[in-house]
Structure 1
Amino acid sequence: MATYVLVHGGGHGGWCYRQVARILRAAGHEVHAPTMTGLGERSHLMGARIDLDLHIQDIGAVLHYEDLREVILVGHSYGGMVVTGVADRMAERVGRLVYLDAATPRDGQSLRDIAGPIIESARPFGEVVDGVELVLLPAPGAGAFYGVTDPDVVAWMDERLTAHPWKCFEQPLKLGNEDALWAIPQYHVVCTSTLTTRDPRLIAEARAAGRLWDIDTGHDLMLTEPRAVADALLEIAAS
């Protein structure tokens, strides 16, 4: 039995993994899909102290308090920043690191550094609430921004997407245990359309090692292609 911790991206929550988690559990695996502070069902906790470091602490606390080891740690989109930070701080608990169409940061990089044009394009449409700059404000049909085309899924997302603190996207990731971090086997499950935007060396190495899956779908691939994503995660557990 494998243990998965599925980390969501910006504006989302653990809810976005519902179908993937159901498939993995049906195959006999343990699955955790936590929601980070200020988002999803924890959106009532929004506040000025929410940043990348706090979200790393959120997920690290799940590994600690659930006493999870040899975890397959999966991060989607912004979640790639978070899982990299968690693996750096808790390498002894992480067995595999999976980037699900995610940011793949290095020391000192922020999501703004990695995905600047996309992130910056969202900023003018944000707002400041109680002193917190928020972006990715939910609006009818916002699922289309994440590459979701099924109107039923978009409507379902409309009821669940939440705003995200800008501070999370501009805070640099600080790594302190890189030897242990980069010794963890890394896997990449990406959208075909984003392959050309990624580090060619990283993609080539992943492909040569049999650690690359590309799925021809939108950015929220866990919602648009849950079976394909789950199958990739099952293959990673078996590798």
Structure 2
Amino acid sequence: MATYVLVHGGGHGGWCYRKVARLLRDAGHEVFAPTLSGLADRSHLSLSDIGLDTHIQDVASLLHYEDLREVILVGHSYGGMVITGAADRAIDRVGRLVYLDAANPVNGQSLVDVAGPIIEATRPFGETVDGTELVLLPHPDAGMFYGVTDPADLTWMAERLTSHPWRCFEEKLDLRDEQAVAALPQFHIVCTSTLATRDPELVDGARKAGRLWDIDTGHDLMITEPEAVTDILLRVAAA
């Protein structure tokens, strides 16, 4: 039995992994899909002090308090920033990292550094509430921004997406042991459409090592292609 911890991206919550989590559990594995502070079912928390490091601590604390070991830590989109930092904070509890159409940061980078044009494009459509700058504001068709087209999925998402503090996207990753994190086996599941925008050296190396898969779908591939994502996650556990 493998243990998966599934970390969501900006504006989402643990809810976005519902289909994948069910399939992994049906296959006999243990699955955690936490919601990061200030989002979804934790949106009642104050957003004023929430940044990338808060979310890193959310996940590192989960690993500690649930006493999880050899975890397959999966991060989607902005979640790639989070799992990289969480692995650094709890290196003895993480067995493998999976970047799910995610940011692949190095020490000292922010999400703006990694995916500037895409994430900066959301900023003009944000708002400031009680002194906190928020982006990815929810609206009825917000799911389309993430490449989702199914009407039922769009309705489901519209009822759950929440605003995200901009601070999380400009706060830089601060690793304590960069070499230890780099030594962890890293796997990549990406959307076919994003391959051309990624570091060619990283893509080539991961593909040669049998650690890269691409799925021809939208950015929220855990929602649009849950069976395909689950199949690959099971391969990661067996690798």
Q: TM-score range by the shorter chain?
A: over 0.9
What's 2:167 paired with?
A: 167
Counterpart-to-counterpart distance in 1, 2:108 and 2:227: 35
Q: Are positions 1:88 and 2:92 aligned together? A: no
What's 2:229 paired with?
A: 229
Counterpart-to-counterpart distance in 2, 1:46 and 1:199: 36
What's 2:53 paired with?
A: 53
TM-aligned CA deviation for residue 88 of structure 1:
1.2
TM-aligned CA deviation for residue 90 of structure 1:
1.2
Contact 1:6/1:74 (<8 A) preserved? yes
Paired residues, what number? 239
Counterpart-to-counterpart distance in 2, 1:118 and 1:171: 16
Contact 1:39/1:46 (<8 A) preserved? no
What's 1:201 paired with?
A: 201
Structure 1: state its 5+ residue gaps. none
What's 1:182 paired with?
A: 182
What's 2:147 paired with?
A: 147
Counterpart-to-counterpart distance in 2, 1:46 and 1:6: 23
Amino acid paired to 2:31: V
What's 1:117 paired with?
A: 117
Secondary structure of the structure 2 residue equivalent to 1:59:
helix
Counterpart-to-counterpart distance in 2, 1:34 and 1:131: 27
Counterpart-to-counterpart distance in 2, 1:107 and 1:182: 10
**CA displacement 1:109-142 (0-9 Å, x = unmatched):** 0000111111111101100111110000001110
Secondary structure of the structure 1 residue equivalent to 2:43:
helix
Give matches, 1:36-75, under 5 Å: 36-75=36-75
**CA displacement 1:47-82 (0-9 Å, x = unmatched):** 211000000000011000000000000000000000
Over the aligned positions, Cα root-mean-square deviation in angstroms equals 0.5
Counterpart-to-counterpart distance in 1, 2:179 and 2:118: 31
TM-aligned CA deviation for residue 36 of structure 1:
0.4
TM-aligned CA deviation for residue 231 of structure 1:
0.4
What's 1:104 paired with?
A: 104
**CA displacement 1:169-199 (0-9 Å, x = unmatched):** 0001011101211110000000000001001
Counterpart-to-counterpart distance in 2, 1:89 and 1:204: 28
Counterpart-to-counterpart distance in 1, 2:108 and 2:179: 16
Contact 1:14/1:33 (<8 A) preserved? yes
Query: What's the TM-score, normalizing by structure 1?
Result: 0.99
TM-aligned CA deviation for residue 46 of structure 1:
3.2
Counterpart-to-counterpart distance in 1, 2:46 and 2:99: 26
TM-aligned CA deviation for residue 24 of structure 1:
0.2
**CA displacement 1:18-54 (0-9 Å, x = unmatched):** 0000000000000000000000100011321100000
TM-aligned CA deviation for residue 103 of structure 1:
0.1
Amino acid paired to 2:61: A
Moved more, 172-181 or 67-76: 172-181
What's 2:137 paired with?
A: 137
Structure 2: state its 5+ residue gaps. none
Amino acid paired to 1:206: A
Counterpart-to-counterpart distance in 2, 1:118 and 1:205: 25
Counterpart-to-counterpart distance in 2, 1:54 and 1:222: 24
Secondary structure of the structure 1 residue equivalent to 2:73:
strand
Query: What's the TM-score, normalizing by structure 2?
Result: 0.99
What's 1:192 paired with?
A: 192
